[in-house]
Amino acid sequence: MTRARTALAKPKPSRGRFDAYVREDRVHRAIYTDPAIFEEEMTKVFGGTWVYLGHESEIPAPYDFRLGRLGLRPIILTRDRAGAVHALFNRCMHRGATVCREPRGSARSFTCAYHGWTYDCAGRLTGVAYPKAYGPGFDKAALSLREVPFVQTYRGFVFGTMNPAAPALPDYLGNARPLLDRWMDRFPGPIVVRSRAHRMTYRGNWKLAFDNAADAYHAPFSHRSIQEMTTARYGFGRSLSHFAGDPDDGPMYVQSLGGGHTFLDQRPAMGDSLWAQDRPIPGGDAAVAALRARHGDAEAARLLELAVGEGMNLNVFPNLLIIGNQIQVIEPLAVDRTCLTWYATTIASGVPDEINTLRMRMQEDFPNFGEPDDQANFEECQVGLTIPEIEWLDLGRGLRAGEPTDERGVTTGRVTSEVTLRGYLQEWKRLMNADVELTVAVAGRGTDGP
């Protein structure tokens, strides 16, 4: 399919302007509160770099679709008849109404409910109501849907960007890529992201969620509710018990991976999983017993490890978070409003059905008990940041603790270090200081439509 690209307006040069907002050990409150900075982010960050759009398993067959966003831009993630993935802007080329209003499904075409313009699943305009009024020279191809011009997939994860100067996606993932590979390779089959999601909106800036994504400093204080819940549910205080005492004295660590990506690794301190304990699991003990009877204790223990979320947070800037067995997506809505969505994952093959059932039970815990703690903190941060006379946030924890940087450019800190915040904000500053010229694509005249 051929695609014509049209250039968008080029922002005014701003090289170096954001150096004043992000310093070595602090960041200015305005990057969380200024609507003009937020608007610029939607061009330079959520347009100028690779943004996670969805997972291929959510649209497994030709004609499948789901709605999503590229920053504030509404999109339709689709597969055409040949199976190619498109990210169509959900905006009729006639008067601007959205052409798809269902969150997901299967459709060979999309018809705008306002005036009846119809587009195929690859975005081409196929029909208008009462066409003779447009005359014989009407060019439907020129009014096909616009789409994200660069869409690439890495191991099922679909990303898009509007920046023709963006690096190839594997290069963009950089040091996050082997960690994502490791997460995927622990499963015997591909993951599937088709379960219902936990979707929550908080009154705060989107960066507060990315700040928190590799912040272990808050865990013992913010998440007491989930510790109490797991004690009641599982019969022992398993969750976050590895944060007892001073967690910096233990083997856990955080890393700034470069390119804004960050990593929190709790696995060195977690020891045996809860499945190794001889404890009843409410709602799951029968499944565990059946697995042990069918496969024996050793094989059942190996399988059950796949039901437990791996104790790591891998965060791909700017909006994809891998947490345990789940995928979390950050969607900015306004300077002080953000949607966070948790997507459960199942394993497509190679495991008994009981394992995916237990994964679902395990994946209910944190979104229901831990995430509300975090979002309450995000909202209170946003309130505090409205005070204009107090300008700076301190990000100095760990800065003078001798954090090493290896030959890959990865800086490692103790688990409560703020090196991850400092690292991703340097990438944010680089993008915001850059000149950028974005493009959109026009759905082509190929023959692969329905």
* pLDDT tens track for 33-52: 999 999 999 999 999 999 99
* pLDDT tens-digit series, residues 283-325: 567 777 888 888 888 888 888 888 877 788 999 999 999 998 9
Whole-model pTM above 0.85?
A: yes
Beta-carbon count within 10 A of 396 CB: 14
- Is 35 a domain residue? no
Specify the DSSP element, H or E, that contains 24: none
Residues 348, 275, single domain; the answer is: yes
Residues 223, 305, single domain; the answer is: yes
Residues 237, 146, single domain; the answer is: no
- Is 42 a domain residue? no
Is the pLDDT at 94 greater than 70? The verdict is yes
Name the domain boundary from 162, 197, 221. Answer: 162
Cα distances from 368 to residues 215, 342, 380, 387, in angstroms, run: 19, 10, 19, 31
Residue type, 210: F
- How many structural domains does the chain have? 2
- Is 15 a domain residue? no
Residues 253, 204, single domain; the answer is: yes
SS3 content of the chain, % helix, strand, coil (to 5): 30, 25, 45
Please tell me the distance from the alpha carbon of residue 238 to that of residue 274, in angstroms, as a whole number.
Answer: 7
* pLDDT tens-digit series, residues 183-232: 999 999 999 998 889 999 999 999 999 998 988 877 777 777 777 766 66
Residues 156, 243, single domain; the answer is: no
Residues 213, 311, single domain; the answer is: yes
Look up the CATH number of the domain holding residue 268. Answer: 3.90.380.10
Is the pLDDT at 5 greater than 90? The verdict is no
Look up the CATH number of the domain holding residue 74. Answer: 2.102.10.10
Q: Which domain holds residue 149?
A: 50-162
Structure tokens, 230 = 């797991």
Name the domain boundary from 133, 162, 191. Answer: 162
Residues 135, 182, single domain; the answer is: no
- Is 439 a domain residue? no
Structure tokens, 413 = 């800190």
Rg of the chain in Å (alpha carbons):
23
Q: Is 328 helix (H, G, I), strand (E, B) or coil?
A: strand
Structure tokens, 314 = 């891998």
Q: How confident is the model at residue 15 (pLDDT cuts 50, 70, 90)?
A: low
Residues 109, 222, single domain; the answer is: no
Residues 96/113, Cβ–Cβ less than 8 Å: no
Residues 156, 253, single domain; the answer is: no
Q: Is the dihedral of CA 88, 93, 98, 102 positive or negative?
A: negative
Q: What does the chain come to in residues? A: 450
- Is 237 a domain residue? yes
